Structure 1
Amino acid sequence: MVRVLFLGGLGRSGTTLLERLLGELPGVCPLGEVVHLWERDVAGDERCACGEHFSECGFWREVGEKAFGGWHHVDVWRVLALRHAVERTRHIPRLASVRMSPAHRLLVEEYADWYARLYEAAAVVSGAEVLVDSSKHAALAYCLRFAPGLDLRVAHVVRDSRGVAYSWTKKVTRPETDNAEEMTRYSPGHSALLWNAHNVAFSALHKCGVPVTRVRYESLLEDPSAVLRELSEFVGIDPGDMGFIRDGVAELGPCHSAAGNPMRFTVGPVPLRRDDAWRTALPGGQRRVVSALTAPLLGAYGYRGAR
């Protein structure tokens, strides 16, 4: 069985930082947002976190050979067509249902098998006990429970919705491309609705038999070692002494994260401090809108007292 820790939640919730920290633990290999690998890397040849283009990265080249006999044997457009057919937020009720039609289940299983083959190869190439996929998409996590030979565990990462909303308004350049593309931006109201949808979906995933634990972004930065120890126990590994974390700073080494936030390219010391700029930088009207739209879950996740 290939053990995969899937990091789920809405983007800008700290999943890339968590993935990088997990990647420093012995026996753990971070893969990045595998959901985007097919289009951005296999087809688009964007840069791996190691700095090389995907096609030139020795790690991913070896994974492709072992999984598919080479990436040229991957029908990217078939994978993307399957994704469109089964891996959408609106399909989650069907993915969670015991009454899924046989025809639809075959599509889900075919889609999940592409991931299972990639994970199995990555486990062999890396020699890791646990792979980390920071794809975040709730629908993908529901699909992956149909993957053969996969020991799926999910860390549901949540962050205060107002901090997430503010982050989605920022302009962020994607360094993995050669034409200075910017990452997607959302209005605070839109991101609040997405925050609700993604977090509700992950809150219900355990009902499908998938082990799920919750990680608060704020708790990660308050005591990163404690959170990493809890996650290590969750996936069944020894975290070691975590000597890469000292005095509120993490020393990060290089990795082969295939897609995701630009933070995946960072190597060296990274301060572990909360980003609460939203408290003053997000206009009061927008902050109140986000608070109102997300109030029930904010309370459920322990953010009720935040202003």
Structure 2
Amino acid sequence: MTKVLFIAAWGRSGTTVLDNILNSHESVFSVGELTYIWSRGLRQRRPCGCGAPFPECPLWQQILRVAYDDDPPSAAEVSALQRRSLRIRHTPTILRTRNNPDVERYRGLIGRLYRAVADVTGATLIVDSSKSPADAALLSGVDGVEPYLLHVVRDPRAVAFSWSRPTSHHDASTPGLTHRHGPVDSSVSWLGWNLLIEGTARTYPRRHRRLRYEDFLAEPRNTVEELLRFVGLPDSVGSAPASDPFAGPFADQRTVSLRPNHTVSGNPSRFRTGEVSLRRDDRWLDQQDRRQRLISTLVSLPLLPRYRYPLWPGPR
């Protein structure tokens, strides 16, 4: 049985740094945002986390051969299938029914891919940071997979601030800046995605938990090691000698050594490797426009108390 940890969240919630840290454990392999393998990876030829154009990455070439033998699915056809049946609005339908032929076809394809990743890499745990509640809903019914769900949340005002700032793609094939969201769009999506993820979590009995970005960055090492124990990795993870396959990448509570990865897609920070000192990004507390903060607060108000966020944050 292949263990898969699915990270679900609205964007700019800190999932990429968590993904990179998990990938830096010898027993863990992160695929990044696997949902984009067909569109951004195979069709648009965006870079793998290793830097090579995705179709030319030797590791992914081997994984795809193991998954689909000599009959790989058409990337264009799978992308069209995703557009028909795996949009965010389809999440409730995926949760309610198991007889949609498009959904079941995709379940079969993605199941073969997960199992091939485990076979080729030898990883004990696969991390998928696709974030989408629709993909999380689909994963819970994939044959041969032992699924876990991690619901990551971040203060919606911080998220809105992050979406409002320009960020480079770090991708020569698609030069320019990443897509930006205004405070209304970001906060409406934050509210909707989190509600859908909570509904999806019911299909992961005893295998889901919620993590606040702020709590993660308060104690990054302890948080990561507890998360790995939650999914069934040994208690020695993170504290074993370097020769141990479960040794962790932390030098101390806040310093981590990020190793290269083979993520399909994700935030540009996925290309960062080497020693990193982890700190919470709280620039929004001083720099965010008051109007933007007020809009985000009003839109996201229904979930602020549930996730223990203050009505009006103070200065940093």
Could you say which TM-score interval applies, normalised by the shorter chain? over 0.9
Partner of 2:225: 229
Secondary structure of the residue aligned to 1:25 is coil
Which whole-Å deviations, capped at 9, do the CAs of 1:148-175 have from their partners, x for residues lacking one?
1111101001100011101111111112
Which residue of structure 2 lines up, in the alignment, with residue 51 of structure 1? 51
In the alignment, which residue of structure 2 is the partner of 1:75? 74
Residue 165 (structure 1) aligns with = 160
Which amino acid in the other structure matches residue 255 of structure 1? Answer: N
Amino acid at match of 1:217: Y
> How far, CA to CA, are the matches of 1:236 and 1:28 in structure 2?
12
What is the deviation of 1:84?
1.5
- Residue 108 to residue 200, structure 1, CA distance change in 2 (3 Å): same
Q: CA–CA distance in 1 between the matches of 2:238 and 2:18?
A: 17
Shift of 1:292: 1.0
Mapped contact 1:33–1:135 kept (Cα < 8 A) = yes
User: 8 Å contact 1:86–1:107 — kept in the other structure?
Assistant: yes
2:214 aligned residue: 218
* Structure 2: gaps of 5 or more residues: 240-247
Alpha-carbon distance, 1:236 to partner: 0.3
Q: 1:297 to 1:245 in 2, by over 3 A?
A: farther
Q: Cα deviations across residues 50-77 of structure 1 (Å, max 9, x unaligned)?
A: 111112211111101111126x822112
Q: TM-score, normalised by structure 1?
A: 0.94
* Amino acid in structure 2 at the alignment position of 1:124: D
Gaps of 5+ in 1: none
Q: Deviations over 1:134-155 (max 9, x none)?
A: 0000011111222211111010
Q: Is the 8 A contact 2:220 2:253 kept in 1?
A: no
Aligned-pair distance for 1:226? 1.5
Deviation at 1:243, TM superposition (A): 4.8
- Alignment partner of 2:105 out of 110, 126, 140: 110
> Match of 2:160, SS?
helix
- 2:37 partner letter: L
Report what 1:17 is aligned to: 17
> After the TM superposition, which of the residue ranges 235-244 and 193-202 deviates more from structure 2?
235-244
- Separation of aligned partners in 1, 2:188 and 2:159: 11
Cα distance in 1 for partners of 2:118, 2:174 equals 33
Structure 1 contact 48–176 (Cα < 8 Å) conserved: no
Q: Is the 8 A contact 1:138 1:198 kept in 2?
A: yes
CA positional deviation for 1:101: 7.1
Q: Displacement, 1:178?
A: 2.8
* Conserved 8 A contact 2:221-2:254: no
Give the stretch that moved more between structures: 207-216 or 115-124.
207-216
Cα RMSD over matched residues? 1.6
Matched with 2:255 is 249
Counterparts of residues 60-139 of structure 1 (less than 5 Å): 60-69=60-69, 73-97=72-96, 100=97, 102=99, 104=100, 106-139=101-134
1:155-201 Cα shifts (integer Å, max 9, x gaps): 00110001110111111111233342321110011000000011111
Whole-angstrom distance in 1 between the partners of 2:46 and 2:40: 6
Q: How far apart, CA to CA, are the structure 1 residues paired with 2:279 and 2:194? A: 24
Counterpart residue type for residue 254 of structure 2: G
